[in-house]
Amino acid sequence: MKPAIYDISAAVDKDLLRAEVRDDLTVMVAGQGGDGSLTIIALLSKALLHRGYHIYRTSDIASRIKGGHAAALMRASTKPRGNLGDQIDILIAFDLEAVQKASNRLAPNSIVIFDSSREAMPPDLVPETALMIPVPFSRLSVRDLRRDLFKNSLGFGLLGRIIGLADKEVESCLRKHFKKLSSAQLEPNIKALREGQAFADKAGISGRNSILTLPAQAVENERIFISGNHAAAMGFMAAGGRFFAGYPITPATDVMNFLERNLPAVGGVVMQAEDELASINLVIGAALTGVRAMTASSGPGIALMLESIGHCGSAEIPIVIIDCQRAGPSTGMPTKPEQSDINMVTRGGNGDYPHIVLTPGDPEECFYGSILATNIAQRAQCPVILALDAVCHDNFTVPRFDLERARIYPGKRVTESDVAQMEEYRRYAITEDGISPWAVPGTRDAMNLVTGNERNEWGLVTTEPDMRVAMVDKRSRKIETVRPLLPKAVEWGDVNSPLGILGVGILGGVMTEAAERLAEQGLHFHCHRPRTLWPVLEDTIDFVNSHERVYVVEQSEGAQLAGLLKSEGARADKIVSILKYDGLQFSTAELVATIVEKERLA
């Protein structure tokens, strides 16, 4: 049996117009870089967001300026989901490669819309029960609009009809998306949109005869649609952050770009440095003046920064660093997700120095986590790292951020009048809580000596053994002082189950859905997602040790998360690692199948 194909020479058989009501839909648009795949998914995301759906959006692109396979994907659902569906329900393919790459992920009843301008679709690439719609995207765009790029607006017009969106709703969404374009630039896109709708008319796909329909949902609370990078940048600003220095690197550049557009409006400064070493040293210089300062990079850049991060830990300089993890080592696969910087951000650098690593799981946690990181850096006078994974560039619907929750805590900052009342100001005074009073350079009678060497309480270089021990111990105490402020893990599922699932960051979404499906099969799990990676908190160690078996899920060949937990007291005999490092995200079906098989063998 061959897939059903629309005959556009006449209205389609009404039996093919299923008008199936859906509350969960995964869509993929793919082709070559520059084809407009991201644009269609962006438009569709906004349209369904307006209809009250929860949206998760991601991409799978080659690490090239232009060209190479590029795919944009989104999931719209009535439940909040931080991951894609197992299968692709609708595929818009601008070339044959797109179909080839997606073929093993297509749902049995999927809808495949492909560009028939150059070649016919081999029917064996898609399920026999799929519905194929050939559309000469490129030919229509070039013939009528003189530019191949307009095929994305054409495709959105057709897609809107397929899922039952009103034409006015679709056009309004496109106009808002391109609102910065001139009229001369906008009108060809409107014309292309309508041409897509006219194409649907020829196939008998109208408002009354859609193939799928996604009914509008009631929205109780206002939501926003945002990436982790943008949310973390916003949190930094809300916490009083006013200086950022960085060097472009995938996928961290979004942080700098966002702050370039917004930080100057509140009196802040953004500097693009010549490399990562210059970036972090600019941040150190700003931080020493009392300004709240941050940098962002990815694995290779963080590796270059490690000496300076250690220097901040030793010299007690408060800075925030965002690490947008990607597949490594070295250049690795810059556009592919991984969680393999865990060893570096928790144990990297030479010597022992205090620092904190937080690991948010969605943009909401990125926002509030960035506020917390900025404040804790000031309180503990040490570097704080936000270790992001694919959450950095993926977009989610999350509740609108509550700026009333943003507070600015200065820590032990002292003023000139405070110094005047001291018997003596010692920048690195040994204190019970490990945190010394700090007057920024330039404060009268408050001498600041900053060196990379070990120092005494006044900042003078020393190699005296007792002072060395006293200083190292002092610095380590500050982590215990701020430990109560660090976010504990998020837990859900069957708290009485002897079986556990543990993962960090973006894996929370796939863990949640996997636990639901496993419960339907009679396998009940208690789930645990740490939000503080370093220091490892007691609740995470207790979670592992209190269960019979815990599946530690991570995107790392070296089981770095599992190794970290074991080194901090988690029993090795309790841990079963589930690893993925092929540059793709875990799917729910994949995780469920792996756990079921391991349970069968246990």
- Is 197 part of a structural domain of the chain? yes
Q: Are residues 12 and 60 in the same domain?
A: yes
| Boundary-marking domain end, from 383, 404, 425 | 404
Domain boundary pick from 377, 404, 431: 404
Residues 111-147: tens digit of each pLDDT: 999 998 887 887 788 998 999 999 988 888 888 777 8
Into how many domains does the chain fold? 4
pLDDT tens per residue across span 328-383: 999 999 999 999 999 999 999 999 999 999 999 999 999 999 999 999 999 999 99
Q: In 3-state terms, what secondary structure has residue 546?
A: coil
Residue 535 has a pLDDT of 98
Q: What is the largest CA-CA distance in the chain?
A: 93
* Predicted confidence (pLDDT) per residue in 511-551, tens digit: 999 999 999 999 999 999 999 999 999 999 999 999 999 99
Residues 164 and 255 placed together within one structural domain of the fold: no
**pLDDT over 70 (residue 53):** yes
Q: Indicate which CATH number applies to the domain containing 498.
A: 3.40.50.920
* Residue 229: inside a domain: yes
Mean pLDDT of 66-83: 91
Q: Is residue 511 part of a domain?
A: yes
> Backbone dihedral region of 381: left (phi > 0), alpha (psi from -120 to 50 degrees) or beta?
left
Whether residue 540 sits in one domain with residue 429 = no
Please tell me whether residues 111 and 57 are part of one structural domain.
yes
Phi/psi of residue 93, nearest 5 degrees: -115, 120
At 65 the pLDDT is: 67
CA distance 562 to 560: 5
Confidence of residue 293 (pLDDT cuts 50, 70, 90): very high
Entry pTM: 0.94
Copy the structure tokens of residue 202.
Answer: 């020829």
State which amino acid sits at residue 370. Answer: S
Structure tokens at 447: 């001498």
Same domain, yes or no, for 538 and 587? Answer: yes
Please check whether residues 159 and 195 belong to one and the same domain.
Answer: yes
CATH number at residue 162: 3.40.920.10
Sheet strands (E) in 304-442:
319-324, 356-358, 383-388, 395-399
Is 229 found in the same domain as 150?
A: no
485: in domain: no
* Peptide linkage before 535 cis (omega within 30 of 0): yes
User: Who contacts 36 (Cβ-Cβ below 8 Å, separation ≥6)?
Assistant: 94, 149, 151, 152, 155
Range of the domain at 569: 490-601
SS (H, E, C) 80-148: CCCCCCCCEEEEEECCHHHHHHHHHHEEEEEEEEEECCCCCCCHHHCCCCCEEEEECHHHHHHHHHCCH
Residues 393 and 434 occupy one common structural domain: no
pLDDT in tens, 191-215: 999 999 999 988 888 766 789 999 9
β strands within 151-292, DSSP E: 212-213, 223-227, 243-246, 269-272
φ/ψ of 121, rounded to 5, equals -85, 120
Same domain (yes/no): 173, 297: no
Closest CA to 455 of 316, 251, 274: 316
In whole angstroms, what is the distance from residue 450 CA to residue 308 CA?
13
Tell which of 213, 245, 264 closes a domain.
Answer: 213
Q: Is residue 513 part of a domain?
A: yes
Same domain, 267 and 360: yes
The answer to whether position 409 is within a domain reads: no
Same domain, 442 and 554: no
Q: What is the CATH number of the domain that holds 232?
A: 3.40.50.970
Whether the CB-CB separation of 30 and 98 falls below 8 Å is answered with yes
Query: Residue 498: inside a domain, yes or no?
Result: yes
CA-based nearest residue to 286, from 254, 235, 238, 242: 242
User: Is 22 in a helix, a strand, or coil?
Assistant: coil
Q: Are 95 and 203 within one domain?
A: yes
In a domain, 178, yes or no: yes
Interstrand relation of 499-502 and 526-529 (parallel, antiparallel or unpaired): parallel
